[in-house]
Structure 1
Amino acid sequence: MSDFDPLLRERLTAYRNDVVSRVAGPGPDQARHHLRQRRRMTAAAVAAVAVVLVVAPVVANAALRDDRNPPVPAESVEPTPPPTSAPPTPTPTGSPSATTGTPNAPDGRISRAQLLATRVDLPSWPSGMAEGGCATSKVRLKDDTKDTYVSMLADNEFEHGDVDGDGAVETIAIVACRYGEASAKQVVAFDRNQDGRIVTMGRVVRTDDNFKDILAAEITPAGSVEVQVGDIVPCCEIPEYHRREQVRTYRWNGQRFNQTDGPTTFGKDPRLTDLRLGMTHELVDVPGDDTRRELTMVFTVTNAGPVDAPQVAFHGIERGERAGGDWSRCDPKPLPDADQPSCLLPGVPSGESRRYTFVLLVPGQPGPEASTRGFLVVHCDAQDRFWPDLKRDDNEVLSPIPL
């Protein structure tokens, strides 16, 4: 290198350094730049392939059709939605019927005379009624009668309306079977088949342990059946005002009637209370030649609730001659629809007790008809109406001597 001109040597050294710096491996910045460049190139290639895939079928189709027009790029269009059918008509609330407006549905309007003139099958009666004679198979119904254990039509108007949603009316009737002073009852729906024959559609509801009487039935404009029921049958000296009434709604579900509205039970009667009777007594001889004796009875009446008893009525205590005590305070007015009490007196508020005293002159020796009888206390309201007790067993005590 000594033979070279110093200026030339300097220039060769600068050239070498410049070449070495250019061929050195890439650094981190260069690597990232290269990777971004490769990604752009790859994306461009994919896009080109996609264009080819889109355009190629167009070109091929044009060739098959001998289409001389040059292909145009595909346009992006919104797909045409398929035609939609009208939404189904919603089933009315509470209506389980799946058929509405059935063509040529038979007319189920049936008169009382028509139903009495044909034989029908009835839904089952409560347990024991069929064994007693209340028939259910091929029954020729009787008009309202006093006969017992005979299936009959109750003395209620028929109801007509579309209860199954077929576009034609059906008939609702109350059928009964008497077993004494009272009757078992059921509300039955009747219809006609395609031949015009009367058929039994089904039972709406019947009397059972939940309620004891059916008073009326009515078809609503919506096709439901509203039934007025009572918790007791006013008979056997039970007054009508003791009965509680409810309206319960039933609807056909395609197979049977189900309750859809109204109460399902009566529960405890809020008008009643629990009276409890206790007694002490004293029996003494009457001074002088009188052979009779004086009986003093002190009754303690406790009202265990839950309601006040405005009045109390004592039954069975008059077994001799009145001789004092609370006899003078007895209300002389007779009670309606009840055995007349021996005495009606102001009552006992809920949670309190009252004492009532009655003095009687009785024979010294009991007569042949004398017996040990019971004394009873009963709750009465301000209208002089008597009411049952929530616990009847503690309303009565026995006479201390035969009377």
Structure 2
Amino acid sequence: MSDLDPRLRQRLGAYRNDVISHVAGPGPDQARQLLRRRRRMAAVAVAAAAVVLVVAPVVANAALNNDDRTPPVPAESVTPTPPAPSAPPTPPPTGSASPNTAPTAPDGRISRAQLLATRVDLPNWQPGEMEGGCATAKVRLRTNTDNTYVSELAENAFRYGDLDGDGAVETVAVVSCRYGEASAKQVVAFDRDREGRIVTLGRVVRTGDGFDDIRATEVNRSGSVEVRVADIQPCCGTPSYLRREQVRTYRWDGERFSQTDGPTAFGRDPRLTDLRLSMTHQLTDVAGADTRRTLTTVFTVTNAGPVDAPQVAFHGIEVGERAGGDWSRCDPNPPPQADNPTCLLPGVPAGESRRYTFVQLVPGTPRPDAQVQRFFVVHCDAQDRWWPDLKKDDNGVDSPIRF
């Protein structure tokens, strides 16, 4: 600077003092302040310093080239332009969301073949009903076997539905166990565990709980199981028309199935009536050398109600030889449905009585092996079908003589 003109050196000094008085460079105090603020204003400070460094040389060069004595214009402070806000992150496309990691319920739809191919645990049978003891633990079910005390998979169709509300279906099947000519039955719900193994959810209902047969099952939209039950299981010569049926509904409550709808008992059969039988007889000798005697029997049948008996069938009165009375009114060919009665005659309305007379020729001397004969009467409908009596003990009488 020693080679410069004293006037120029003076002007540069004045310029330097003026600029320094208006522009404060970043000193130690400001640096510590920025550090204490965790560098929040670092970008703004850097931008301001850059503006000062750019403007100062420009002003100095202009002063050097200016021959007049006009004092230099102080530099203007420049507010740094804030950075443009960054664009929001682009949302992931639909369908790329994180998959639901919650476990889904296993599918409990089981086929007949699958159920027959595995061993299952069955609910207990009715106490006292299965003297032979049908197995319940690790049972391999069978089909179409005549063996007694063997658990079988009944021919009833499988039903499927969400019984426990877990979003997956379960399987409903009927299991039976023969104990003679009849079978005990259960409606059982099966499911699968997380490993895919077949497990027993629970028993819906079983015979012996107020009925003797299970006819069909259905699963409705709410997940309840509808079971068609019957008061008797026709067997051992019992005709199927005697059967009465009801539909009862059961639902899983988290621990067991309980009945939620339908009747709970059958009650007295409204198709039956109460017949009562009484008898008088007369035994007379036959004139001449005939050793036989004439037996005249009069039966009085009273219908104590509540329904009419269109026909009555007598049993056991076929002794000796027919010789008169109401024999001519008997149906000569009683149908099998009447259980082979000796005589089928017009019946008795409810609340009324009728008398029926039969004349027979019987041996004068009873056989050495003669037994007491029992006569009894039953109610038959217009289709020749016999019906049980409400009080069967008063439907029969013993013959006063042996034959």
The equivalent of 2:342 in structure 1 is: 342
The equivalent of 2:286 in structure 1 is: 286
The equivalent of 1:146 in structure 2 is: 146
The equivalent of 1:110 in structure 2 is: 110
The equivalent of 2:26 in structure 1 is: none
**Residues 160, 273 of structure 1: alpha-carbon distance in 2 compared, 3 angstrom cutoff:** same
Q: 1:149 Cα deviation (Å)? A: 0.8
- Correspondences of 1:369-384 after superposition (within 5 Å): 369-384=369-384
- Deviation above 3 Å: which 4+ runs of structure 1? none
The equivalent of 1:191 in structure 2 is: 191
Amino acid in the other structure paired with 1:383: Q
Q: 1:370 Cα deviation (Å)? A: 2.4
Q: 1:336 Cα deviation (Å)? A: 3.3
CA distance in structure 1 between the aligned counterparts of 2:130 and 2:376, rounded to whole angstroms: 38
CA distance in structure 1 between the aligned counterparts of 2:393 and 2:166, rounded to whole angstroms: 55
Superposition CA RMSD, Å:
1.3
Contact residue 182 and residue 235 of structure 1 kept, 8 A: yes
- Correspondences of 1:332-371 after superposition (within 5 Å): 332-371=332-371
The equivalent of 1:226 in structure 2 is: 226
Q: 1:224 Cα deviation (Å)? A: 1.1
The equivalent of 1:85 in structure 2 is: none
The equivalent of 2:309 in structure 1 is: 309
Contact residue 237 and residue 338 of structure 1 kept, 8 A: no
Aligned: 1:135 with 2:135 = yes
Q: 1:369 Cα deviation (Å)? A: 4.3
Q: 1:365 Cα deviation (Å)? A: 1.1
Contact residue 339 and residue 386 of structure 2 kept, 8 A: no
- Correspondences of 1:42-53 after superposition (within 5 Å): none
**Residues 347, 321 of structure 1: alpha-carbon distance in 2 compared, 3 angstrom cutoff:** same
**TM-score, structure 2 as length reference:** 0.73
Amino acid in the other structure paired with 2:190: F
- Correspondences of 1:35-46 after superposition (within 5 Å): none
**Secondary structure in 2 aligned to 1:393?**
helix
Per-residue CA shift, 1:47-73, capped at 9, x if unaligned?
xxxxxxxxxxxxxxxxxxxxxxxxxxx
The equivalent of 1:174 in structure 2 is: 174
Amino acid in the other structure paired with 1:332: P
Per-residue CA shift, 1:257-282, capped at 9, x if unaligned?
11111111000000000000000000
Per-residue CA shift, 1:12-45, capped at 9, x if unaligned?
xxxxxxxxxxxxxxxxxxxxxxxxxxxxxxxxxx
CA distance in structure 1 between the aligned counterparts of 2:288 and 2:209, rounded to whole angstroms: 61
Query: Which deviates more from structure 2 when the two are superposed, residues 337-346 or residues 227-236?
Result: 337-346
**Secondary structure in 2 aligned to 1:337?**
helix
**Secondary structure in 2 aligned to 1:373?**
strand
CA distance in structure 2 between the aligned counterparts of 1:343 and 1:176, rounded to whole angstroms: 40
Contact residue 120 and residue 138 of structure 2 kept, 8 A: yes
Contact residue 106 and residue 196 of structure 1 kept, 8 A: yes
State percent identity of aligned pairs: 75
Contact residue 130 and residue 179 of structure 2 kept, 8 A: no
CA distance in structure 2 between the aligned counterparts of 1:103 and 1:316, rounded to whole angstroms: 72
Per-residue CA shift, 1:360-388, capped at 9, x if unaligned?
10111122442111101000111111000
Contact residue 154 and residue 175 of structure 1 kept, 8 A: yes
CA distance in structure 2 between the aligned counterparts of 1:354 and 1:217, rounded to whole angstroms: 46
Q: 1:290 Cα deviation (Å)? A: 1.0
Q: 1:334 Cα deviation (Å)? A: 2.1
Q: 1:130 Cα deviation (Å)? A: 4.9
CA distance in structure 2 between the aligned counterparts of 1:210 and 1:277, rounded to whole angstroms: 31
Per-residue CA shift, 1:107-166, capped at 9, x if unaligned?
111111111111111111011345412111111111132111111111111111111111
Give structure 2 stretches of 5+ with no counterpart: 1-101
Contact residue 159 and residue 172 of structure 1 kept, 8 A: yes
Q: 1:169 Cα deviation (Å)? A: 0.9
CA distance in structure 1 between the aligned counterparts of 2:276 and 2:183, rounded to whole angstroms: 34
CA distance in structure 2 between the aligned counterparts of 1:189 and 1:353, rounded to whole angstroms: 53
**Secondary structure in 1 aligned to 2:402?**
coil
**Secondary structure in 2 aligned to 1:400?**
strand
Aligned: 1:119 with 2:95 = no
CA distance in structure 2 between the aligned counterparts of 1:370 and 1:148, rounded to whole angstroms: 39
**TM-score, structure 1 as length reference:** 0.73
CA distance in structure 1 between the aligned counterparts of 2:181 and 2:376, rounded to whole angstroms: 26
Equivalent pairs counted in the alignment come to 302
CA distance in structure 2 between the aligned counterparts of 1:142 and 1:321, rounded to whole angstroms: 55
**Secondary structure in 1 aligned to 2:346?**
strand
Contact residue 108 and residue 191 of structure 2 kept, 8 A: yes
The equivalent of 2:235 in structure 1 is: 235
Give structure 1 stretches of 5+ with no counterpart: 1-101
Q: 1:337 Cα deviation (Å)? A: 3.3
**Secondary structure in 1 aligned to 2:113?**
helix
Contact residue 316 and residue 374 of structure 2 kept, 8 A: yes
Amino acid in the other structure paired with 1:216: A
**Residues 336, 103 of structure 1: alpha-carbon distance in 2 compared, 3 angstrom cutoff:** farther
The equivalent of 2:330 in structure 1 is: 330
Contact residue 338 and residue 380 of structure 2 kept, 8 A: no
The equivalent of 1:249 in structure 2 is: 249
**Secondary structure in 2 aligned to 1:145?**
coil
CA distance in structure 2 between the aligned counterparts of 1:376 and 1:130, rounded to whole angstroms: 34
Per-residue CA shift, 1:227-284, capped at 9, x if unaligned?
0000001111110000000011111111111111111100000000000000000001
CA distance in structure 2 between the aligned counterparts of 1:254 and 1:240, rounded to whole angstroms: 37
Amino acid in the other structure paired with 2:290: D
Amino acid in the other structure paired with 1:187: V
